[in-house]
């Protein structure tokens, strides 16, 4: 565990699935991280025009259950970028601009579509140069993109923001779902039991939303091998600072992304840090340690 406490802003599509809720709790409980604010990003692909409102309500609930209602919870842009130059006013963007203007040394842990981070890049291109941005999304190579491109929503929910991230953000770290982050999966029944054993309103709620998610998943998923598993994708963003040794990173060149979201691996740009493997045991041990700090 790092002894250097990192100030972070979480940018989450809370309630797209349920992983953001776990990530928020993990970050608040981690002694390695200080959460300055939670910005609810849009994901209109999943929840339509009210996505930001729905996500903020859920973020507020998690903050309250963590005993941290005083942490600012803000709405980001209401919809995806219409072009690579599109900037929408939002309280989330204003919050990040104010942090940049005040000289606060912070990082962004983005676990949803990159809309608000890309807009910050457009309005604060100089001040964002050294700002660490750790984004959960995209793909590490052509083969992974071809196999999973319709299953990854963070990039697809705002293609223009994805393009801005890849073309312009200098201090970008990418945590693709595959092949590393996907390893952070749990046995749902066992995990629910462990959460409930804490006898705390936070862990009871996390157990409830996991149970509800699993019910819906079982109704849709015909692959019985996966019915009792849940990948906790978004918690790995927190692990990047809380237990950094659990992530294996490589510098890889980023491909050009066209307006349709196609990745052109024959047109490579600057290299950025890409997560290619994750130690599931180390991440989960650190997650439980952080949750114990809240319960």
Question: Per-residue pLDDT for 224 more than 90?
Answer: no
Question: Per-residue pLDDT for 223 more than 70?
Answer: no
Q: What percent of the chain has pLDDT over 70?
A: 95
pLDDT tens by residue, 250-288? 999 999 999 999 999 999 999 999 999 999 999 999 999
pLDDT tens by residue, 155-165? 999 999 999 99
CB atoms within 10 A of CB 259: 10
Confidence of residue 217 (pLDDT cuts 50, 70, 90): low
Of 76, 93, 156, 158, the residue nearest 128 (C-alpha): 93
Q: Can you tell me the distance from the alpha carbon of 133 to that of 100, in angstroms, rounded to the nearest whole number?
A: 13
Q: What percent of the chain has pLDDT over 90?
A: 91
Question: Per-residue pLDDT for 212 more than 60?
Answer: yes
pLDDT at 201 (0 to 100): 98
- CATH superfamily, domain 6-184+232-292, is Ribonucleoside hydrolase-like (3.90.245.10)
Question: Per-residue pLDDT for 1 more than 90?
Answer: no
> Residue 197: CB partners within 8 Å, gap ≥ 6?
none
Question: Per-residue pLDDT for 220 more than 80?
Answer: no
pLDDT tens by residue, 34-44? 999 999 999 99
pLDDT at 222 (0 to 100): 45
Mean pLDDT computed over 101-116: 96
Of 12, 16, 92, the residue nearest 48 (C-alpha): 16
Mean pLDDT computed over 286-294: 97
Q: C-alpha dihedral over 20, 26, 31, 37, to 10 degrees?
A: 30
Residue at token pair 């693709």: 176
pLDDT at 228 (0 to 100): 81
pLDDT tens by residue, 164-196? 999 999 999 999 999 999 999 999 999 999 999
Question: Per-residue pLDDT for 221 more than 70?
Answer: no
Q: How far, in Å, are 42, 214, 275 from residue 113 at the CA level? A: 7, 23, 18
Q: Taking the domains of the chain in order of start, what are their residue ranges?
A: 6-184+232-292
pLDDT at 2 (0 to 100): 46
Query: Is there a contact between 140 and 70 (Cβ–Cβ < 8 Å)?
Result: no
Q: Can you tell me the distance from the alpha carbon of 26 to that of 23, in angstroms, rounded to the nearest whole number?
A: 5
pLDDT tens by residue, 45-74? 999 999 999 999 999 999 999 999 999 999
């Amino acid at each position: 565990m790092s002894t250097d406490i990192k100030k972070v802003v979480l940018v989450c599509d809370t309630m797209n699935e349920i992983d953001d809720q776990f990530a928020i709790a993990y970050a608040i409980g981690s002694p390695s991280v200080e959460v300055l604010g939670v910005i609810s990003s849009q994901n209109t692909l999943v929840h339509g025009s009210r996505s930001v409102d729905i996500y903020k309500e859920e973020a507020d609930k998690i903050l309250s259950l963590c005993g941290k209602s005083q942490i600012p919870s803000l709405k980001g842009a209401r919809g995806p970028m219409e072009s690579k130059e599109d900037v929408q006013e939002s309280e989330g963007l204003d919050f990040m601009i104010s942090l940049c203007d005040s000289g606060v040394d912070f990082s962004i842990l983005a676990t949803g579509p990159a809309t608000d981070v890309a807009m910050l890049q457009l309005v604060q291109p100089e001040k964002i140069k050294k700002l660490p941005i750790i984004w959960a999304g995209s793909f590490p190579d052509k083969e992974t993109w071809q196999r999973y491109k319709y299953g990854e929503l963070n990039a697809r929910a705002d293609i223009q923001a994805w393009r801005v991230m890849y073309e312009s953000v200098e201090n970008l770290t990418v945590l693709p779902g595959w092949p590393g982050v996907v390893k952070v999966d749990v046995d749902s029944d066992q995990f629910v039991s462990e959460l409930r054993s804490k006898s705390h309103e936070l862990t009871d709620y996390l157990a409830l939303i996991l149970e509800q998610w699993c019910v819906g998943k079982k109704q849709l998923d015909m692959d019985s091998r996966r019915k009792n598993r849940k990948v906790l994708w978004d918690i790995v963003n927190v692990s990047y600072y809380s237990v950094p040794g659990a992530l294996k990173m490589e510098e890889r060149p980023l491909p050009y992304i066209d307006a349709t979201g196609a990745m052109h691996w024959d047109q490579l740009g600057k290299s950025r840090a890409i997560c290619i493997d994750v130690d599931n045991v180390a991440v989960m041990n650190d997650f439980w340690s952080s949750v114990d700090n809240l319960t």
